[in-house]
Structure 1
């Protein structure tokens, strides 16, 4: 495949890519939303989300060991379903969920940056700053793999250390008491269904591990290192998420967390460490979101390029020079720019979670039905992952139907349009062949 550099990404670089995507939108943009759905014990939801993600990651790790590829999930779907509408549609859902994640991270960047200037998060500057970050990510991605993995690995290490310092410092001040958050004034009513729905957002926070599978063909010794990188990335992210969630719940009431849900970490730093704590937290958030955008753009552009090379999705050059991968990089950024301008954090996260879970279920079914013997996968683990996804998706869509039905309608319409469009596109190509 053109413009791909085999063995150009080390194990450390792969872990950097995975954590670069995960520890960005995950803790900075979703923590407040998870708290709103699940209540005062919300830190525990991240543990459950990590467990569910672990079951899901099993299928991807098994596929990566057998079929290491720069196209990752796109190639996995081809192996399971052939060059079919299901393959093309599911792959596009994955790509869309990743682009949605980029807009989520971009708006998070804008929201946290404005905290330094005590400006309203509803300001037009939020999407404007997000657009600027996406353009920066585009420029970094055309600079080459070596710079990307070095930048994301170093920046990921810096932000992880910074976040751990914040979390441990916050917990040390309250005597390392892992108590549930105080309710505050008029806390929301939560139940089993909404708590299960909250798991969907934590899965979205962990799904950055797929960035590693999408770069499998460029990782050194992929049959050994892809699985290791996935395990390390999920484990590191879970520890960071859990400590930060407890740190925030120990210093803010549930009501305060929900009111500042788009910038809960920065809000927790104000009473804890004053102006210095705010600056420290926001700077770490900026580093985290920058690395998240760069790593995500890196992965999704390569996945779309492989789908284009395999003639599973339409591709137009529009007069642009360079390789297909460069073109898909442009498409990725443009779509993310539009989403960043049009949607708020809550709706972006909800749509991303729905599209990802639908695609994830298709991966598990494909492994169970068609490839479990070939990739030597334990069918019980694969079916458990599928069932978990189904329960979480059903709960999440039910909760959103009662609170924000429009985002469910938009998500369903998007899924229908993707599969319908792919059906006609592939049929037309077959007739022309």
Structure 2
């Protein structure tokens, strides 16, 4: 069977330009990082928080460079699932796809629960399920509608974050990096948790089949989205630490809200809460897009049920994959714990990017060209191994189950032949 197609499947519409692609990446990254990972990262790293942020940024840059190079060569839906399959072999592509779908499904649940926690803490799970249902329906109506919604969300969230930075800077600070560093282990764990926030540029690569002129657009969109996000993260983290200190930041469930209150701007707190909910919605919107496209690619190769590869004739989106992903995420959002979902997601995504870097390493035999992929591969494996033990254990178990399914399926196919 030819890779990337199934009987009756049709191609996706190439309707996204550079601005759309960057916006989708920003929507995935900005919401997840600032409102969900900054506090736990400070708890792990202490005064070493910014070392963790720097390490996460370096690893993300390596991964972004690898993803951009590969996406330009393979501009189809699926991201590293496709790259690993084409560069390393069918198993590694499958493992990357499995890690992405499982890890990012957990991330979808985390973002849905973040919406619920900010909108209606007493009914967080119910609100989370409702958000998943609404955004899945939006995605089913076409990727352009999702991209338009993403623009609005990114504009609102960046406005809120800018207000937080201005208010905290005007307060004069006085706190900062308090207490001891979390040590090398704590800094690396914080980097792994913050990496959860940087992984949104994967959405640009997984939408490769819907981007106009992908060989030019994707390599420009990925570093642009990542660069903007790095600037935003650094500015907001500096502002929040300046008024709360790393100690209070580590203990805060809503650090940006606490920061504006500490800066004497209580009236801004409801706006920040609303911004957090909108940011999480933006991340959830882009995450569902990415997971459904990888599901589409795996279904095309029969690693998942072939019916999930069907593209809607009118809206030209993989509606069955969208609905299947939405149903699973809704079930997780009704039952999962937010912090556990973040750690599990980080493990899966780091494995996914380890395969991406290994794939990019094969593109050239020149040592200079292999330096960044090698650094990215080592960084992904190191950060994955230093995440909370529960996340590592459960992540390894789920990967082992996925690998077992692959080999059992291959054995059955061989017997039938």
Q: Pick closer, same or farther for the CA change 1:41–1:189 going to 2, 3 Å.
A: closer
Deviations 1:402-431 (A, max 9, x none): xxxx43332221111011012112332343
1:70 aligned onto 2:70: no
Q: Pick closer, same or farther for the CA change 1:342–1:276 going to 2, 3 Å.
A: same
Secondary structure of the 1:378 match is: helix
Partner of 1:59: 66
Secondary structure of the 1:372 match is: coil
1:284 aligned onto 2:271: no
Per the normalisation by structure 2, the TM-score is 0.90
Conserved in 1, the CA contact under 8 Å of 2:118 and 2:276? yes
Partner of 2:293: 302
C-alpha distance in structure 2 between counterparts of 1:43 and 1:276, whole Å: 29
Match of 2:393 among 396, 399, 409: 409
Partner of 2:166: 168
C-alpha distance in structure 2 between counterparts of 1:55 and 1:171, whole Å: 32
Shift, 1:102, TM fit: 0.8
Partner of 1:135: 133
1:432 aligned onto 2:416: yes
C-alpha distance in structure 2 between counterparts of 1:90 and 1:25, whole Å: 21
Number of corresponding residues: 406
Q: Which runs of 5+ in 1 are unaligned?
A: 115-120
Partner of 1:113: 119
1:94 aligned onto 2:90: no
C-alpha distance in structure 1 between counterparts of 2:290 and 2:149, whole Å: 15
1:359 aligned onto 2:357: no
C-alpha distance in structure 1 between counterparts of 2:375 and 2:31, whole Å: 28
Q: Which runs of 5+ in 2 are unaligned?
A: none
Match of 2:148 among 147, 150, 175: 150
Deviations 1:7-36 (A, max 9, x none): 300100001110111011211010100000
Partner of 1:37: 44
C-alpha distance in structure 1 between counterparts of 2:139 and 2:200, whole Å: 17
Deviations 1:89-119 (A, max 9, x none): 22111111211111111111111224xxxxx
Conserved in 2, the CA contact under 8 Å of 1:182 and 1:252? no
1:15 aligned onto 2:6: no
C-alpha distance in structure 2 between counterparts of 1:284 and 1:236, whole Å: 18
Partner of 1:117: none
C-alpha distance in structure 2 between counterparts of 1:372 and 1:334, whole Å: 41
Partner of 1:180: 176
Shift, 1:365, TM fit: 2.0
Partner of 2:203: 211
Conserved in 2, the CA contact under 8 Å of 1:266 and 1:281? yes
Which of 244-253 and 28-37 deviates more?
244-253
Match of 1:328 among 321, 341, 355: 321
C-alpha distance in structure 1 between counterparts of 2:224 and 2:36, whole Å: 22
C-alpha distance in structure 1 between counterparts of 2:321 and 2:156, whole Å: 30
Match of 2:54 among 47, 63, 82: 47
C-alpha distance in structure 2 between counterparts of 1:354 and 1:291, whole Å: 22
Which of 243-252 and 335-344 deviates more?
335-344
C-alpha distance in structure 2 between counterparts of 1:7 and 1:17, whole Å: 15
Q: Pick closer, same or farther for the CA change 1:89–1:52 going to 2, 3 Å.
A: closer
Shift, 1:346, TM fit: 1.5
Partner of 1:341: 334
Question: Over aligned residue pairs, what C-alpha RMSD do you find?
Answer: 2.5
Secondary structure of the 1:30 match is: helix
Shift, 1:295, TM fit: 1.2
Shift, 1:226, TM fit: 0.4
Q: Pick closer, same or farther for the CA change 1:154–1:240 going to 2, 3 Å.
A: same
Partner of 1:104: 110
1:254 aligned onto 2:260: no
Shift, 1:218, TM fit: 1.2
Shift, 1:142, TM fit: 1.0
Per the normalisation by structure 1, the TM-score is 0.87
Partner of 1:385: 376
Q: Which runs of 4+ in 1 moved over 6 A?
A: 321-324
Q: Pick closer, same or farther for the CA change 1:324–1:430 going to 2, 3 Å.
A: farther
